[in-house]
Structure 1
Amino acid sequence: MKYVFRKPDQVSITLQLLKWTLLVLPVALTTGALVALFLWSLEKCTGLRWQYPWLLYALPLAGIGIWYLYKLAGKNAAAGNNLIMDNIHEPGGGVPARMAPLVLITTLITHLFGGSAGREGTAVQIGGSMAQLYARWFRLTVEDVQVLLTAGMAAGFGAVFGTPVTGAVFAIEVLAIGVVRYKALMPCLIAAVLADITCASLGIHHTAYHIADFEPARTFSFIHVDMLLLAKVIVSGVAFGLAGYLFSVLIHGIKKYAGVYIKQAWLTPVVGGLLVIVLCWALGTRDYIGLGVNGQYPDSVSILNAFHAGGATPLSWWWKILFTSITLAMGFKGGEVTPLFFIGATLGNILAVWMGVPVDLLAGLGFIAVFAAATNTPLACTFMGVELFGTHYVLYYAVACFTAYYFSGHTGIYGSQRIGIPKTATDNISGLTLKQWSEKTDK
């Protein structure tokens, strides 16, 4: 019998990790640096909008500018995050390098003139386009390109929020509902950590959130959790899931009907901009435009203020859903995740007052759970709770995120997200994208 020498698994794994570290390194460094530039510029744009309030009235013109930029040079880059996900699932034409500068510039335009948008989409698209660029230079195989694109998504997400573990898990969880692709796990973690370090080394400081410690009541000494609080968290998780569902349905619905009733494509962002202006005038506030992390005034409704009693009105969460859906569905650029944080935190603020729960705790749970509902990423959002708020309430993070995930149904903000394992056993829809499922149910 001939003996065949086989390298130990640990040797192969070490070589694999070295390979991916070398491949991921330039992607992570470039993405981290570009995200740092983006976050710095975003802060400057927000300051300018606060300093010159009249900029809001130019939002319709800014919309035309964004439309023209994408018509001139965008091509398939206009598909954004969905294009990256499509190329990971089924490699095609690739992700163009022009996606990074286009989305960076147009997102800044959106924020400068008062659109309601986030920043995650921009960062993820930067990471994806840089990954594709380096993959082309390195002449990687199709399989390796898929992994590097996933790592690019992780790098962008980890850097923009300062949450590298969340970024890594998000990138492998968001591709398909109910399925986590561990093949890209280590490249994603390496990319997210390096991009976050790069971003921080360039002087970018992320917003600090805090949930105060309190001692939960225990009905029985042998039960190490407050059962009444847990029940309230479950009820809140249902509400957070429905909010995520509403956001997803509304943003896709507005986009669909805008395409039907507005015949000239360039008019769509004009109408969207006018609607945002009218809503600001009707409500008598500009709290629901822009990023929403901080407010222009001390008593503004914002994510940070939502962690304190009185920091939100009963309908703050709804107004942010409406403003953001109009902005993003009608041609402006930016992400959805930070607005989802705003929606969840303000909804949690109101629910906490109604149910007698610490406001900062339920605002924090809403912050991550509405995000989990709209993106179908409960694991990543549980990790986000740990990275942002600490480990003390991890059970409540998981319960809120998992409950919200189920109650958002088969909807989500990413139409190219696939249904790997349906949320209910009776549904035989595995393999469809959310867009295909939506079109099927609309018939």
Structure 2
Amino acid sequence: MSSKGKVNNGLHQRYLAKWLLIAGSIGAVAGVGAIVFYEAIHLFTYLFLNLGAGFHPPEALGEGQPVVTEISRRWMIPVVTTLGGLLSGLIVFKFAPEAEGHGTDAAIDAFHHKEGIIRARVPLVKIIASAITIGSGGSAGREGPTAQIAAGFGSIMGQLLKLNTRDRCIALATGIGAGIGAIFKAPLGGALLSTEILYLEGFEVQALVPSFIASLIGYTIFASYAGYMPVFGWMSQNIAFDPVTLLYYALLGVLCGLIGILYTKTFYATRNFFKKINLPKWLKPAAGGLLVGIMGLFLPQVLGMGYGWLQLGMLNKPLPLDIVVLLIFAKILATSLTIGSGGSGGVFAPGLFIGGMVGTALWQLLHGMVGHLPASPQPFIVVGMMALFGAVAHAPLAVMFMVGEMTGSYTMLVPAMIAVGIAYVLVGNNTIYESQVPTPADSPAHRLDYYLPLLENIKVKEVMTANIPLVTIHTSVAEAEELVKKQKIKGLPIVAGESNYQLLGVITREDIIRVPPLQRAETNVGQVMSAPPIVIGPNETLDVALTIMSDNDIAFLPVVEENKVVGLITRRDIIRTYILAAQKAGATSTRTQQQMTA
């Protein structure tokens, strides 16, 4: 068997055991984190809205009772929303500024551009700040914070276990799926979301199996505590499918696509407006909270997540049509003010609310005017939720399954296909998650995937540097440092003696830095070297070399034949070779096209 085959087989053999441990731990933290966050939201809702304003928002069936009550101190609504924004801003910008906004986007950015690293304090700050934002009436959801909590743990675990960059990114993506799958009691949708939400087009296939494991464990832990009933209860299974209604669902898809574009553009325009305002960052969420509170005086339905109002519509008790239409645009503005000002929360729940209200409005407009409509707006609400957020999140498949799990039924998947498809196409490249990249090929996290095919036919000995300086085990660290600086390399092989090229270890820049400057002249490299060294043979191919470097987070490899050093190959050498090979391949392709068209 070739060395390449051995490498691949070894990876496959270790894969399941490794990810059962890592994904299982991420799932457990996601489940516990979801419970803590869920209860924190209830606590702050009680303190701010219940005690403060005398307002008890209706809840979804899976989380409470969809009961509408009078607001005893309506005038207090702007007070509590402003106070909530102020506290959230103080906490976020004092301890972890990256916890502002909707956490899912921050996790996506960390996947693509930060090598899967999230600071350890971020999850805790996110829990507190987001619970205050939502509990005080801010128009935000709980999926973003939960995703960032679990993704943060995935990142922390990756750093503690010293996973390579690729695996650390996969652990982070796994956390996104586990957190969302747990808090929404949607394990399948959550797992799919972690693979789909990273890109405008495409999937992170390598995250699928770990996400299945983590999302299932997270869901089991959270549902064991909060109950296994879906968020919106059990949707009626007796809704008959009528092909004629596909025309109406297609129209719903068009409306959701257009409203989705308005949602994304309003959200980022508001965010950019607040960035330009000359106010301290910690004060801006209070300003956003005040404006949302003023809206809440007249339309209290815009406050919080709003699931209870959707639930009333599903129970055939929808709000009046004029209020529903007004709420579509009011919720877009309220969410933009809450999160765009720097408040902490998610955009998933508001997106579902907006889509559900679009579905309610269309059903009410058509009801009594056309035939073949369902007796209740429930199907239109569910499909509207899927279509709008599936489009703006560029995760149509995952959101369809998630909403199906949240309503306890997949009966609406057939009409949802046409609505979601149309909305997705209309939305185009507009997205609620600006950190998404177009495809996996555009992500820095996948740079190695596109190097390997061009490198698999080039051998190490064709690229390696043969005439390299060698140091013996008795060379001082100071001398090694001078050689590293002079040669502009990352490190040096250490051999047994000047006439004995048997490799004993390597010394890297990091090894040198760890020695205090005043002690480097008196310290031998043998005392600080990295051993046993990771090596490669001269007849191996460059894709194998790059894989080894990536898996071990190292920048160079000694080239060894019969246990003697014959050269050195660096990541820079491989990338330079890749660029030349790519240019050559491109030139060949151009000549071929010219010949074909001649």
TM-score by length of 2: 0.64
Distance 2:113 2:80 in 1: 40
Distance (Å, rounded) in 2 between the aligned partners of 1:399 and 1:259: 38
Q: Which residue pairs with 1:238 in the alignment?
A: 254
User: Quick check: 1:286 aligned with 2:300?
Assistant: yes
Aligned to 1:361: 379
Residue 201, structure 1, aligned to residue 200, structure 2: no
Change (3 A) 1:60 1:250: same
- Superposed, 1:269-284 pairs within 5 Å as 269-281=285-297, 283=298
Residue 13 of structure 1 and its aligned partner are, at CA, apart by 4.6
The answer to whether the aligner puts 1:180 opposite 2:191 as a matched pair is no
Does the alignment pair 1:350 with 2:361?
Answer: yes
Look up the match of 1:87. 110
SS of the residue corresponding to residue 423 of structure 2 reads: helix
C-alpha change, 1:393 and 1:67, in structure 2 (3 Å) is closer
- 1:94-173 to structure 2, matched below 5 A, reads 94-173=117-196
In 1, the alpha carbon distance for the partners of 2:284 and 2:152 equals: 27
1:69 corresponds to: 91
**Deviation per residue, 1:167-200 (Å, 9 max, x gap):** 1111110111111121111011111111111112
Give the Cα separation in 2 of the matches to 1:141 and 1:112.
39
Counterpart of 2:45? 46
1:354–1:374 distance in 2 versus 1, CA, 3 Å? same
Identity percentage over the alignment? 26
Residue aligned with 1:202, SS:
helix
* Per-residue deviation, residues 387-423 of structure 1 (Å, max 9, x unmatched): 23423232112222222111112111111011229xx
410, 420, 424: which one aligns with 1:405? 424
The residue type paired with residue 192 of structure 2 is V
Aligned 8 A contact 1:55 1:112 in 2: no
Shift, 1:117, TM fit: 0.9
Residue in 1 that maps onto 2:523:
none
Moved more, 346-355 or 125-134: 346-355
On the 8 A contact 2:40/2:128 being kept in 1, the answer is: no
CA 1:75–1:51: 2 relative to 1, 3 Å: closer
- Equivalent runs, 1:5-84 vs 2, <5 Å: 13=12, 15-48=14-47, 49-53=49-53, 54=76, 56-78=78-100, 80-84=103-107
TM-score (norm 1): 0.85
Aligned to 2:238: 213
Specify whether residues 197 and 339 from structure 1 end up closer, same or farther in structure 2 by C-alpha distance, changes over 3 A only: same
How many Å apart are 1:212 and its aligned residue? 5.0
Unaligned runs of 5+ in 2: 54-75, 368-372, 445-598
Q: Which amino acid is the alignment partner of residue 217 of structure 2?
A: L
1:141 Cα deviation after fit: 0.8
CA distance in 2, matches of 1:276, 1:100: 26
**Greater RCO (CA < 8 Å, at least 6 residues apart):** 1
When residues 280 and 4 of structure 1 are mapped into structure 2, their CA distance, relative to the original with a 3 A threshold, is closer
CA distance in 2, matches of 1:35, 1:146: 21
Corresponding residue SS for 1:396: helix
Structure 2 residue 271 is the aligned partner of structure 1 residue 260: no
Name the structure with the higher strand share: 2
Is 1:325 aligned with 2:336? yes
> Structure 1 residues 385, 267: closer, same or farther in 2, change over 3 A?
closer
The structure whose Rg is larger is: 2
In the superposition, relative to structure 1, how do residues 415 and 286 fare at CA in structure 2: closer, same or farther (>3 Å)? same
Aligned equivalent of 1:247: 263
> Partners in 2 of 1:377 and 1:5 — Cα distance?
35
Q: Which letter does structure 2 place at the counterpart of 1:146? A: C
Name the count of aligned residue pairs: 406
Alpha-carbon distance change, 407 to 11 in structure 1, aligned in 2, over 3 angstroms: same
Distance in 2 separating the partners of 1:93 and 1:293: 32
Q: CA RMSD in A?
A: 2.6
Q: Distance in 1 between matches of 2:239 and 2:183?
A: 30
Counterpart amino acid of residue 256 in structure 1: N
Name the counterpart of 2:391. Answer: 373
